[in-house]
Amino acid sequence: MALAPLDHDALRAALEAASLRCTPQRLAVYDQLSRELRHPTAEDVFHAVRLTIPKISLATVYKALEALVEIGAATRLTAADGTGSARYDARSEAHYHFRCLRTGSVYDLPTRFDPALVSKLDPHLEEDLARQGFRVTGYRLELIGYRDQASLAAHPRHQAEAPSGPAIRPFLSDGNENQG
Ligand SMILES: [Zn+2]
């Protein structure tokens, strides 16, 4: 149920509605991000986009990614412990992640998102929090562990390669579950 990436007209409209400029660089950054499978850092996007736009700077890529976050076309992912570079995700609908603690790569999980998971953990949690002044607007779930090197070699497309098509590949469905 991955949503198709935004086309350039939709992206332009969303940027301009937020008083943000729609530049060829920003379109290229979005296109690269929507093709990526492992939730790249700004540096990753910079190195990829530079192949087609040699004069683009890392600062421009950063600003483009933050503009995409601002209009909701991308999400910024940071590790729960605050370490490592921020990663970016062009997939807009709610989904779960797996983070490799060795490489920092983040993968989409093929599991259906459950909006009621928090109440299954604790049916009273949201009420209790509301009484204390906290309003829950959502949740994020990230599994952590290690992706073993053998599966990386066997399935290189889960690495930096960016095949066209929806930016989701169920990596746990290949029978090669990682060993921690
Ligand atoms: Zn994702």
pLDDT score at 157? 53
How far apart are the C-alpha atoms of 61 and 104, rounded to whole Å? Answer: 20
Ligand 1 center–CA 21 separation, angstroms: 25
pLDDT score at 165? 36
Predicted structure pTM score: 0.75
Ligand 1 center–CA 89 separation, angstroms: 5
pLDDT, mean of each 10-residue run, the chain (180 residues)? 75 96 96 92 97 97 96 89 86 90 91 95 96 94 89 59 39 36
Ligand 1 center–CA 131 separation, angstroms: 32
Ligand 1 center–CA 100 separation, angstroms: 13
Ligand 1 center–CA 90 separation, angstroms: 7
How far apart are the C-alpha atoms of 96 and 165, rounded to whole Å? Answer: 19
Block residue for tokens 């920003």: 26
pLDDT score at 80? 74
Name all domains of the chain by residue range, CATH numbers in brackets.
8-174 (1.10.10.10)
pLDDT score at 156? 57
For the chain, first and last CA: distance in Å? Answer: 29
Alpha helices in 71-170 (DSSP H): 117-121, 125-131, 149-154
How far apart are the C-alpha atoms of 163 and 177, rounded to whole Å? Answer: 22
Ligand 1 center–CA 48 separation, angstroms: 19
